[in-house]
């Protein structure tokens, strides 16, 4: 039976590819109805580099979050991902559906590439199709396919997969195959500019050679490996030249035992999510003590050790397990991560290894060792059950990404110990429900949970203090409000929002000088903050400085050419400054609605 099915699949590989893509389209189709959620709001809807066609160069010259100001620079340099947002915005504006269509296209290309790789690696066509199907239907991929901010993950994964497929072709060439490896490295190279986990790709090549003996000397292999290493070096040089550093924390400096223990705990949590993909959320807390007390990290380490030791007996199985470990390595140092430490999108590319390993065990390894138990029927039945359960979980999980309210309501239920979730819930209670006391409790809970976390997130405290300050203002407790807001300023002096809130305290009183000083600091923290510039310009008008005010209004509309109020305010300010010709020119530039 297996042999007949194998021969049939060999005849129609393209049909199998299209079948896999059809399966993905059926079960992920509802992502097309999802909106912008979580980071999408800032990264797409509020990002002037995406919205303003003339600012595209900044996408390549600055870190991903640089549009939020000095305090948010960070070291996430992902220009090609943000440039994809820019391109979609030029074609379709800020309608979320085209962004989700792009995700599905990239995912489909990834499925096609995974199937090609599985056909080259696995000894049977049935196992190759089974492995690719498992990867296609893994519920962890909902985050990558439904969350617009995860487009860099899918695109990075695609170019890594294409690069590895090209590497396998290069390995199949007669020596010397250096130019073929150079071509494979060129195919992989764009992945480095989508997301940082691509830096582990050259290690995947070494893992392949570690497990498989091709008859080449290690010197020959070192020469073939040079193009992949060179790609990483080039990207590193570009990152350091543009950002002044490679990452937020040195991998060696400041290393302490807690970092190693946390890596073991994170490894276990990633394994747990792969084998037990329930309660999937974009906001899960990481408890180091609880993680180390669970069996997951220790069982995972044993399996990895067995894979390394047993590579001579089954090099393919060893390599597929190491694929998972190697490509997860960048996600195991919590010092390099933002919230949360365990994200489903981190496993998008590593999960290829485990999915193919499961298929290899079910359809190749077990039948060879236990031929009398009809293993093919058992494997087919097990695959059907797992695929069905995973498909159901996909259908259940996709709706959680419909909008922000739905996503965070669900996150609050399944991840009640995640401090950022309480901050978001506090904002909802404060602004949408006008439940100020409930919002205050949420902000206080966020502060408490953040203080207990492995690495407290300064932005959580910052947002919580601002929220508590705004609530205190609404309740007439001005002294408390100013205390909270000044704590926020002290925590992140290079973030602008606290200055904006402080300026809004003094502006209604007519204390325009003090308000202007705060708005000036907000503009200094983030020159792209159009609202801060508009408020600053309004203060300058009140302080009888119309020429300076006009500069602020002009700067605001340079960032956002659709900011109509800035045009009107600039024209009025120029007229007040005696520049009637300038005022007329500005009015003529007001975009038509």
The reply to whether 362 falls in a domain is yes
Report the pLDDT value the prediction gives residue 250, as an integer from 0 to 100: 64
Residue labelled with tokens 């807001």: 485
Residues 489 and 592 in one domain: no
The reply to whether 406 falls in a domain is no
Residues 196 and 260 in one domain: yes
Report the pLDDT value the prediction gives residue 216, as an integer from 0 to 100: 78
Report the pLDDT value the prediction gives residue 122, as an integer from 0 to 100: 94
- For the segment 24-47, the average pLDDT, to the nearest whole number, is 95
Residues 397 and 506 in one domain: no
- For the segment 543-563, the average pLDDT, to the nearest whole number, is 95
The reply to whether 442 falls in a domain is yes
* pLDDT tens per residue across span 328-341: 999 999 988 888 99
More confident residue, 174 or 329: 329
Residues 313 and 445 in one domain: no
More confident residue, 368 or 584: 584
Report the pLDDT value the prediction gives residue 79, as an integer from 0 to 100: 96
The average confidence (pLDDT) of the chain is 92
- For the segment 433-444, the average pLDDT, to the nearest whole number, is 96
User: Above 80 in pLDDT, residue 215?
Assistant: no
Report the pLDDT value the prediction gives residue 69, as an integer from 0 to 100: 87
The reply to whether 2 falls in a domain is no
Residues 241 and 278 in one domain: yes
- For the segment 535-542, the average pLDDT, to the nearest whole number, is 96
Instruction: With residue 575 as reference, give the H or E element that holds it.
Output: helix 564-576
Report the pLDDT value the prediction gives residue 207, as an integer from 0 to 100: 96
The reply to whether 243 falls in a domain is yes
Q: Token digits for 409?
A: 């309501």
Report the pLDDT value the prediction gives residue 2, as an integer from 0 to 100: 67
The reply to whether 8 falls in a domain is no
Look at the chain and report how many structural domains it folds into.
Answer: 3
Report the pLDDT value the prediction gives residue 542, as an integer from 0 to 100: 95
Report the pLDDT value the prediction gives residue 593, as an integer from 0 to 100: 63
d(CA 554, CA 180): 53
Residues 261 and 339 in one domain: yes
Asked whether the beta carbons of 282 and 147 are under 8 A apart, the reply is: yes
- For the segment 532-554, the average pLDDT, to the nearest whole number, is 96
- For the segment 468-484, the average pLDDT, to the nearest whole number, is 95
HEC per residue, 52-88:
CHHHHHHHHHCCCCHHHCHHHCCCCCCHHHHHHHHHH
Report the pLDDT value the prediction gives residue 372, as an integer from 0 to 100: 65
Residues 190 and 337 in one domain: yes
Report the pLDDT value the prediction gives residue 219, as an integer from 0 to 100: 87
Residues 339 and 488 in one domain: no
Residues 144 and 264 in one domain: yes
Task: Determine how many CB atoms are found less than 10 A away from the CB of residue 261.
Answer: 16
Omega before residue 176 within 30° of 0, cis: yes
Instruction: With residue 202 as reference, give the H or E element that holds it.
Output: helix 201-211
Q: Which residues form the domain of 583?
A: 496-593
Residues 149 and 275 in one domain: yes
Domain boundary among 343, 376, 401: 401
d(CA 195, CA 144): 13
The reply to whether 587 falls in a domain is yes
d(CA 438, CA 427): 10
C-alpha of 481 from chain center: 34
- For the segment 46-56, the average pLDDT, to the nearest whole number, is 94
Domain boundary among 473, 495, 517: 495
The reply to whether 248 falls in a domain is yes
Residues 291 and 346 in one domain: yes
pTM: 0.94
Burial class from Cβ neighbours inside 10 Å (0-12, 13-18, 19+) for residue 289 reads exposed
Kindly report the CATH number assigned to the domain that includes residue 427: 1.25.40.10
Residues 471 and 513 in one domain: no
Report the pLDDT value the prediction gives residue 254, as an integer from 0 to 100: 63
* pLDDT tens per residue across span 327-381: 999 999 998 888 899 999 999 999 999 999 999 998 887 777 776 666 667 777 8
Report the pLDDT value the prediction gives residue 229, as an integer from 0 to 100: 97
Q: Token digits for 33?
A: 């109805």
∠ CA 186-187-192, nearest 5°, is: 80
* pLDDT tens per residue across span 234-284: 999 999 998 888 876 666 666 788 999 999 999 999 999 999 999 999 999
d(CA 168, CA 171): 5
Domain boundary among 469, 495, 521: 495
- For the segment 481-506, the average pLDDT, to the nearest whole number, is 95
User: Above 70 in pLDDT, residue 562?
Assistant: yes
* pLDDT tens per residue across span 387-421: 999 999 999 999 999 999 999 999 999 999 999 99
């Amino acid at each position: 039976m297996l042999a007949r099915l194998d021969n049939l699949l060999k005849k129609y590989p393209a049909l199998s590819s299209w079948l896999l893509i059809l399966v993905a389209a059926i079960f992920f189709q509802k992502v097309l109805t999802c909106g912008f959620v979580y980071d999408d709001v800032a990264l797409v809807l509020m990002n002037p580099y995406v919205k303003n066609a003339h600012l595209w160069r900044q996408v390549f010259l600055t870190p991903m979050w640089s549009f939020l100001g000095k305090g948010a620079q960070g070291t996430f340099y992902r220009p090609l991902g943000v440039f994809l947002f820019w391109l979609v915005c030029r074609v379709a504006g800020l309608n979320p559906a085209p962004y989700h269509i792009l995700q599905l296209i990239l995912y489909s290309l990834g499925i096609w590439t995974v199937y090609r790789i599985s056909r080259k690696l696995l000894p049977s066509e049935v196992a190759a199709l089974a492995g690719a199907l498992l990867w296609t239907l893994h519920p962890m991929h909902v985050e990558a396919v439904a969350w617009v901010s995860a487009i860099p993950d899918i695109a990075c994964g695609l170019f890594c997969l294409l690069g590895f497929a090209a590497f396998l072709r290069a390995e199949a060439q007669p020596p010397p195959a250096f130019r073929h490896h150079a071509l494979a490295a060129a195919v992989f190279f764009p992945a480095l500019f989508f997301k940082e986990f691509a830096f582990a790709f050259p290690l995947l090549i070494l893992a392949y050679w570690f497990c498989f003996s091709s008859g080449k000397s290690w010197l020959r292999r070192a020469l073939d490996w040079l193009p992949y290493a060179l790609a990483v070096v080039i990207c590193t040089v570009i990152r350091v030249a543009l950002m002044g550093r490679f990452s937020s924390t040195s991998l060696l400096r400041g290393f302490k035992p807690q970092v190693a223990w946390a890596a073991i705990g994170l490894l276990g949590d990633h394994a747990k999510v792969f084998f037990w993909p329930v309660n999937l959320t974009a906001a899960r807390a990481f408890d180091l003590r609880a993680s180390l007390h669970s069996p997951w990290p220790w069982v995972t380490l044993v399996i990895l050790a067995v894979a390394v030791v047993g590579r001579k007996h089954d090099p393919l199985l060893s390599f597929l397990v190491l694929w998972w470990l190697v490509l997860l390595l960048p996600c195991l140092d919590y010092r390099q991560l933002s919230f949360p430490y365990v994200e489903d999108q981190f496993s998008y590319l590593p999960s290829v290894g485990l999915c193919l390993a499961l298929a290899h065990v079910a359809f190749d390894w077990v039948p060879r060792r236990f031929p009398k138990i009809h293993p093919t029927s058992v494997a087919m039945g097990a695959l059907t059950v797992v695929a069905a359960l995973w498909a159901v979980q996909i259908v259940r999980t996709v709706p959680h990404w419909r909008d922000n309210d739905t996503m965070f309501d669900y996150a609050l239920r399944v991840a009640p110990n995640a401090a950022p979730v309480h901050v978001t819930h506090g904002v909802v209670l404060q602004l949408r429900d006008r439940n100020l006391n409930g919002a205050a409790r949420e902000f206080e809970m966020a502060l408490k949970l953040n203080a207990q976390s492995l690495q407290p997130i300064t932005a959580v405290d910052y947002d919580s203090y601002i929220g508590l300050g705004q609530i205190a203002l609404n309740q007439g407790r001005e002294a408390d409000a100013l205390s909270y807001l000044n704590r926020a300023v002290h925590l992140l002096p290079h973030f602008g929002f606290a200055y904006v809130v402080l300026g809004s305290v003094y502006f209604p009183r007519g204390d325009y000088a003090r308000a202007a000083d705060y708005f000036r600091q907000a503009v200094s923290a983030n020159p792209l903050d159009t609202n801060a510039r508009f408020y600053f310009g309004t203060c300058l008008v009140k302080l009888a400085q119309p020429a300076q005010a006009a500069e602020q209004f002009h700067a605001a509309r340079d960032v956002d050419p659709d900011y109509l109020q800035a045009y009107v305010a600039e024209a009025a300010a120029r007229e007040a400054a005696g520049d009637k010709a300038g005022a007329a020119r500005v009015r003529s530039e007001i975009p038509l609605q």
